[in-house]
């Protein structure tokens, strides 16, 4: 049985689809590099497979082929309830999953009104102020995040840091 931190490691790797260094994990989760190495070893031993691959220079990443063959049940993704949770959810979707989000679909996904989404968009724009080249663009019923990949990564790291 995995603990919450180990589940979070799997979820972060699964969401990012990229290599994440042990130092990044340690900083995000406020633990030592050694704890991260131990957690990853525990994960791989629990599933009796190299679910998480490691590379001295690159860090860790999820092995997608093995992931699809394992009966992994992580805590289901919950519907964001608070404005802060919704803003984080929207930004993560824009950074990791979608080039743009249809606001009408978003209303149905998170069960909120258009008025609440308008307020969330204002909050997101405030959150983006420290990132000079990032901007939230709204056109008709869609929003998208414009800016450099580097700034998007910095923003994502900040969101992960605040979440942990």
Read off the pLDDT of residues 29-80 as tens digits, 9 standing for 90 and up.
778 999 999 999 999 999 999 999 999 999 999 998 998 888 776 654 566 7
User: What residues does CATH 1.10.10.10 cover in the chain?
Assistant: 4-69, 83-163
What number of residues does the chain have?
164
Which residue spans within 70-112 are E strands per DSSP? 100-102
Max Cα–Cα distance, the chain, nearest Å? 49
Smallest CA-to-CA distance from 80 within 29, 117, 115, 114 is with 117
Please count the CA atoms within 13 angstroms of the CA of 129 that sit on its side-chain side: 5
Work out the percent of the chain whose per-residue pLDDT is above 70: 96
Q: Is the pLDDT of residue 99 over 70?
A: yes
Taking the whole predicted model, whether its pTM rises above 0.75 is answered as no
Quote the pLDDT of residue 62: 93
User: Cβ(136)–Cβ(121) under 8 Å?
Assistant: yes
C-alpha 59/C-alpha 20 separation (Å) is 5
Quote the pLDDT of residue 76: 47
Mean pLDDT score across all residues of the chain: 88
C-alpha 136/C-alpha 122 separation (Å) is 10
Quote the pLDDT of residue 11: 84
User: Cβ(91)–Cβ(155) under 8 Å?
Assistant: yes
Average pLDDT over residues 84-98: 90
Name the CATH architecture for the domain at 83-163. Answer: Orthogonal Bundle (1.10)
- Sheet with 135-139: list strands edge to edge: 100-102, 142-146, 135-139
Q: Is the pLDDT of residue 164 over 80?
A: no
Quote the pLDDT of residue 155: 94
Other CB atoms within a 10 A radius of the CB of residue 110 amount to 17
72-77 contacts at long range (C-beta below 8 A, 24 or more positions apart)? 72/10, 72/47, 74/7, 74/10, 74/11, 75/7
C-alpha 103/C-alpha 138 separation (Å) is 10
Q: Which residue has the tokens 């999953």?
A: 97
For 4-69, give the CATH class: mainly alpha
Quote the pLDDT of residue 79: 66
């Amino acid at each position: 049985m995995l603990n919450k931190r180990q589940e979070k490691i799997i979820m972060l790797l699964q969401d990012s689809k990229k290599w994440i260094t042990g130092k990044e994990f340690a900083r995000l989760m406020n633990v030592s590099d050694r704890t991260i190495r131990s957690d990853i070893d525990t994960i791989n031993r629990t599933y009796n497979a190299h679910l998480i691959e490691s590379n001295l220079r690159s860090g860790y990443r999820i092995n997608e082929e093995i992931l699809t063959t394992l009966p992994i049940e992580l805590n289901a993704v919950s519907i964001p309830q608070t404005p802060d949770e919704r803003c984080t959810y929207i930004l993560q979707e824009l950074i990791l999953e979608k080039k743009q989000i249809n606001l009408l679909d978003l209303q149905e996904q998170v069960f909120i009104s258009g008025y609440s989404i308008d307020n969330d968009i204002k909050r997101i724009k405030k959150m983006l102020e420290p990132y000079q080249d990032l901007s939230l663009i709204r056109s008709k019923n869609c929003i998208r995040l414009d800016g450099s990949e580097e700034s998007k990564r910095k923003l994502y790291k900040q969101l992960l840091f605040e979440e942990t």
